[in-house]
Amino acid sequence: MKLQLIYLAYFASTVLFIVGLRGLTKPDAARRGIILAGVGMLVAIVGTLLHRDIITYQWIIVGLIVGTIIGIPMGLWIPMTKMPERIALSHAFGGLAVALVGVAEYIRHAVMAGHITQFTMGALGFEVFFGTVTFTGSLMAFGKLQGILSGRPQTFKGQNTLTLALLAACLGFVVWLIFSPYLSGLFYTVVGVGLLLGILLVVPIGGADMPVVICLMNSYAGLAASASGFALDNNILIICGALDGGSGFLLAMIMSKAMNRSFGNVLFGAFGQVEQTSAATGGSKPVKSFTVEDAAEFLKQASSVVIVPGYGMAVAQAQHAVGELQEILEKKGVEVRYAIHPVAGRMPGHMNVLLAEASVPYDHLIEMDAINPSMPTVDVCMVIGANDVVNPAARTDKSSAIYGMPIIDADRSKMVFVLKRSMAAGFAGIDNPLFYLENTRMVFGDAKNTIHALNAELKK
Amino acid sequence: MFGLYIFVLAVFVGYQIITKVPALLHTPLMSATNAISGISLVASLVIAGGSYGKLSTILGVIAVAAATVNVVGGFLITDRMLKMFKRKK
């Protein structure tokens, strides 16, 4: 009877999860969707607590309390500019949980009971492999985003060979375990190599490729959860893992396409790719710069303004000032739109969230493909802390590291303002011909201060 | 093997839904799937609450805590984000 109740709870929560995710296809229905999914989670947890194998509740309660105490600040108080870091960190928690479950299941079946089927062993092997890679890989991504580790790619001689060899060895060990499941030393070797692989896979990847890494970790966390569902014969884990794994993979594909990267790059991250730093030669060529007053004067006369936000806007926490600028301009009858490049920022949709936080209505946020055709009619295009996503070299310069990447056609607008601290290159480490164009003006300074000054000037 | 059917069907359903999520909502999508992946909590609960030895209980409790972080934090922050997405008044 109890078992049927649990199955019923799982069935109900599966339906709630799917309906909930479906809500995310429309901004207006999204919030109701996520609440439904939350109810689904509650139903699944309460259902599980009826499980006959659960004898004591005291340790469960300890775990739930500790998790809640850590989870609430991570949900309520982390600033939106820190979203990429937060997501990376919670992927690490997800990977850790699944990997630990895998180890505990192995001990329970293979070590203590002395009986494990080949199918269960295979599933546990993959669960632990994906779980450990997700755990350390996500921690590395977090460290890079947070600035604890260098955002530059870290490489050493023979790194690719070592990583590939370890990857092959790890998968080989999993297969070996399927045939000899009681070699517990081998099982713990898989755990160790998985942890090491997570580090090795992410260390060579630079900050600009973090959107892909975060998506991949999302995908791996899901695959790990799915594998645990196979091991435990638990359908809700299989389904939720598949949803998570699939969405991470799809987002990674979208990000790679937006950066003109290959399918192989999706699967292995930007594996072994070293960004070029030699081509950064900014500073020698002449640029025209504008003071805030000059810029304000042009904005007053514009009838159409497009803002291109980038990671620099997030770093300067300038999104609220930008939102205010938009309101001021709109009151003056200027049409203001935002051009959103899919890989602007450090995770998919990063700019959308920041601008939503600054109360910018989402129907003002226009995707790259939709806004590009109208760029030649735009009076002023303001590039705020974005470099590579507006670099025309991607269109013309075959030797450029970003050649072939779709960009926002800022250079085709009538006038371009580039808000930037200095002439330093962006994350791809390459120079940007946009800065030297006839119709481009550099407005140097911290984005937040500059826009505040602009707002004050425009209000005069 | 029944699990494989479930897996393939779930991938298919997931693909249909997720491809329709607009780029606007990709960050909330990621934090929502991250919250849903906290479903591994159901596996951790059984290990933390069953008596399979001291080591298993310790691993189980850490796993429960880690998965709970994702469930609690993930749903809270996704809701917080979605609240901000507004149409022009």
What does the pLDDT look like over A353-403, one tens digit per residue?
A: 999 999 999 999 999 999 999 999 999 999 999 988 999 999 988 888 788
Interface probe, candidates A58, A87, A90, chain B, greatest B C-beta count within 10 A: A90
Q: Rounded to a whole number, what is the distance in Å from the CA of B62 to chain A's nearest CA? A: 6
Q: What angle do CA B50, B52, B53 make, to 5 degrees?
A: 125
Q: Which of A275-284, A303-312, A365-374, A404-413 has the lowest mean pLDDT?
A: A275-284
Average pLDDT, chain B: 93
Tokens of A67: 């998790």
User: How many A/B residue pairs have CB atoms within 8 Å?
Assistant: 360
Q: What sign does the CA torsion over A95, A98, A104, A108 have?
A: negative
**Residue A139 pLDDT exceeds 90:** yes
Distance from CA of A163 to the nearest CA of B (A): 27
pLDDT exceeds 90 at position B1: no
Window from A31-45, A268-282, A324-338 with minimum mean pLDDT: A268-282
Decide if A250 and B18 are in contact by the 8 Å CB cutoff.
yes
ipTM over 0.90? The verdict is yes
How many angstroms away from the CA of B14 is the closest CA of chain A? 5
Please tell me the predicted confidence (pLDDT) of residue A279. Answer: 47
Lowest mean pLDDT among A31-35, A123-127, A251-255, A301-305: A251-255
Question: Between A343 and A92, whose confidence is greater?
Answer: A92
> pLDDT at residue A224 above 80?
yes
Instruction: Tell me the pTM.
Output: 0.92
**Count of CB atoms situated within 10 Å of the CB of A274:** 15
Mean pLDDT of A230-238: 94
Q: Give me the mean pLDDT over the A254-263 stretch.
A: 84
pLDDT at A155 over 90: no
How much of chain B exceeds pLDDT 90, in percent? 88
For A136, the 3-state DSSP assignment is helix
CA distance A93 to A78: 16
Q: Cα separations (Å) of A198 from A35, A100, A216, A217, A221?
A: 33, 16, 12, 10, 12
The mean predicted confidence, pLDDT, of chain A is: 91
**Chain A CA closest to residue B9:** A239
- pLDDT for A276 equals 46
Q: Do A63 and B81 touch (CB under 8 A)?
A: no
In the predicted structure, residue B42 carries a pLDDT above the cut 70: yes
Nearest Cα neighbor of B30 from A243, A69, A8 is A243
Q: Per the CB < 8 Å rule, is A17 touching B24?
A: no
By C-alpha distance, the chain B residue nearest A53 is B50
Host H or E run for residue B50: none
Please give the average per-residue pLDDT across A326-337, as a whole number. 95
